[in-house]
Homo-oligomer: A and B are copies of this chain.
Amino acid sequence: MKNMKNNLNEHIDKQMVKIEVSLDDMNPEFYGYIMEQLFSMGVNDVYIVQVIMKKNRPGQVLHILCREEIREKVMDFLFLETTTLGIRYTPYTVHRLERTFIEVETEWGKCTVKIGKREGKIVQIAPEYEDCVRLAKEHQVPIKWVYDLVKEKGYQWAKEQ
């Protein structure tokens, strides 16, 4: 079975689903663990929207974007781990750019840069955050400087293509 998540070519994925869970009685501490587990199950994106629910409740709506084929597994997990009694979902189509990963050399060491292409043309140049953090820590340099320099190297690479 083909894992759509790892398809690095530009493609349109019509088998995606957005799952939403409204939560108004769950300990906010649990979200960190729940998000981590969801990502390890292979979902594509997770985020929390802070909302206003009935009776002055500062509730949360947990949004999960994943392939339809793992929806059931994700919902099993959500019913077990969150406090919800109902989960809703609706289909979404996702258009993803072609992704390549290049490595650039900086004065502090190597760093990966994600390149996004639209119809073969470079449109995104995104330094890998974790690499930047590592270099910033090792060399005691502000992360903004590491990130900006790495991006500049990405632009240079792009111009040479």
Contacts and interface: CB of A to CB of B under 8 A. Distances in A.
Interface string A22-37: 1111111111111100
A88 to B, nearest CB: 5
Contacts of A75: 95
How many interface residues does chain A have, given as a range? 35 or more
A105 to B, nearest CB: 17
Interface string A52-83: 11111111110101000000000110011111
A27 B27 contact: yes
A104 interface: no
Contacts of A148: 151-152, 155
Contacts of A129: 25, 29, 55
A56 B85 contact: no
Interface of A: 16, 18, 20, 22-35, 39, 44-61, 63, 65, 75-76, 79-97, 99, 114, 116, 118, 123-124, 126, 129, 133, 136, 142-144, 147-149, 151-152, 155
27 contacts: A22-B47, A25-B27, A26-B27, A28-B28, A28-B53, A31-B56, A32-B57, A47-B52, A49-B61, A50-B50, A50-B58, A52-B52, A55-B56, A56-B56, A65-B88, A79-B118, A79-B124, A80-B118, A81-B143, A81-B144, A85-B124, A86-B94, A88-B92, A88-B94, A89-B95, A148-B152, A149-B155
